[in-house]
């Protein structure tokens, strides 16, 4: 196998890794960078490949939720107060990461080159998830009798019931996810749960928030670095993009079905275990 074919095979594999990890709270970026390093994949110092192929996963979510997106947009332009509230809440949640990202993206990307950062954020994130899941603050969804943790503190059971303060809390949590290894989905879901949104609704809101966030990040990265990409790098991005789309298409419904009946504890323990592996790899 020549070098070009091996490079594209690596891109295909990493695209699958991205699609399978983007919407579970284990940090797709950490997996892309760590696995890429372990298999000898080099995408350049700007890490455009790792950012842009995430858009494939986002398009998979948009396809799964296409009916809901059309309902949201139609209601917004028709003056439906609930849909307008939902759209404005997404805008509120999007703004913190947009502002901080535009101002500090170069400093954030500098952290991509330090595996030790992943060990810390993976472990810390796992411990926080275990702590949050032990708190009896999640209310029973009206349409989901399987939820057993009930509390008066949870106040949002549907996307339309999320308040602007809860949306802002989720947006601030997303800023933390700019640090590699934190997990965008993990930070926004846990942030939403702490703000009083039930687990499944927090997950759905995280999916919708990912759409403008990752679209903006991908377009911004291509605008800044696209001209410097050669033909092989562009082809690798296309291959990784398609692989991420197809694998995420399989995973999204599975994640929603899982969170309707289970906690995030297995993912927390996985993060802690991976953090130990990464720490040993860095130290040894």
- Residue 162, by phi and psi: left (phi above 0), alpha (psi -120 to 50) or beta? beta
Query: How many whole angstroms separate alpha carbon 14 and alpha carbon 129?
Result: 26
267 lies in some domain:
yes
Please state the domain count of the chain. 1
pLDDT score, position 70: 95
Q: Could you give phi then psi for residue 143, rounded to 5 degrees? A: -100, 10
- Residue 269 and residue 133 in contact, taking contact as beta carbons nearer than 8 Å: no
Query: How many whole angstroms separate alpha carbon 245 and alpha carbon 53?
Result: 9
pLDDT score, position 46: 65
pLDDT score, position 130: 92
Which residues face 156 on adjacent strands? Answer: 197
158 lies in some domain:
yes
Query: How many whole angstroms separate alpha carbon 281 and alpha carbon 107?
Result: 24
Q: Could you give phi then psi for residue 228, rounded to 5 degrees? A: -85, -10
Query: How many whole angstroms separate alpha carbon 83 and alpha carbon 184?
Result: 24
Half-sphere exposure of 269 (CA within 13 A, CB side): 3
pLDDT score, position 45: 56
84 lies in some domain:
yes
151 lies in some domain:
yes
CA dihedral 139, 140, 143, 147 (to 10 degrees): 130
Domain that holds residue 90: 24-39+46-283
225 lies in some domain:
yes
Enter the pTM of the model. 0.82
Q: What is the pLDDT along the chain (284 residues), one digit of tens a residue?
A: 677 888 899 999 999 999 999 888 898 888 988 898 889 887 765 678 888 898 899 899 899 999 999 999 999 999 999 999 999 999 999 999 988 877 766 677 666 667 788 889 999 999 999 998 887 654 444 444 444 444 444 566 788 889 999 999 999 999 988 888 888 888 999 999 999 998 889 989 999 999 999 888 888 878 877 777 778 888 999 999 999 999 999 888 888 788 767 888 999 999 999 999 999 988 87
Sorted by sequence, the CB contacts under 8 Å of residue 128 that are 6+ apart come out as 190
2 lies in some domain:
no
223 lies in some domain:
yes
201 lies in some domain:
yes
């Amino acid at each position: 196998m020549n070098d070009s074919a091996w490079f594209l095979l690596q891109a295909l594999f990493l695209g699958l890794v991205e699609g399978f990890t983007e919407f579970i709270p284990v940090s797709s970026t950490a997996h892309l960078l760590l696995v890429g390093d372990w298999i000898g994949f080099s995408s350049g110092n700007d890490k455009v490949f790792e950012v842009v192929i995430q858009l494939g996963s986002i398009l998979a979510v948009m396809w799964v939720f296409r009916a809901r997106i059309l309902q949201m947009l139609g209601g917004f332009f028709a003056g439906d107060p609930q849909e307008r509230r939902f759209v404005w809440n997404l805008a509120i949640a999007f703004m913190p990461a947009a502002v901080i990202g535009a101002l500090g993206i170069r400093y954030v990307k500098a952290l991509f080159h330090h595996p030790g950062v992943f060990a810390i954020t993976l472990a810390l994130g796992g411990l926080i998830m275990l702590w949050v899941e032990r708190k009896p603050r999640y209310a029973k969804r009206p349409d989901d009798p399987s939820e057993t943790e009930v509390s008066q503190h949870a106040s949002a059971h549907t996307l339309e019931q999320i308040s602007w303060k809860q949306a802002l809390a989720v947006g601030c949590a997303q800023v933390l996810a700019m640090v590699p290894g934190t997990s965008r989905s993990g930070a926004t879901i846990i942030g939403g749960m702490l703000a009083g949104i039930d687990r499944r609704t927090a997950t759905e809101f995280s999916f919708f928030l990912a759409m403008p966030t990752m679209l903006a990040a991908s377009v911004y990265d291509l605008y800044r670095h696209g001209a410097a990409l050669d033909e092989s790098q562009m082809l690798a991005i296309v291959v990784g993009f398609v692989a991420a789309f197809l694998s995420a298409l399989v995973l999204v419904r599975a994640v929603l079905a899982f969170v309707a009946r289970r906690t995030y504890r297995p993912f927390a323990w996985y993060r802690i275990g991976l953090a130990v592996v990464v720490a040993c790899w860095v130290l040894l």
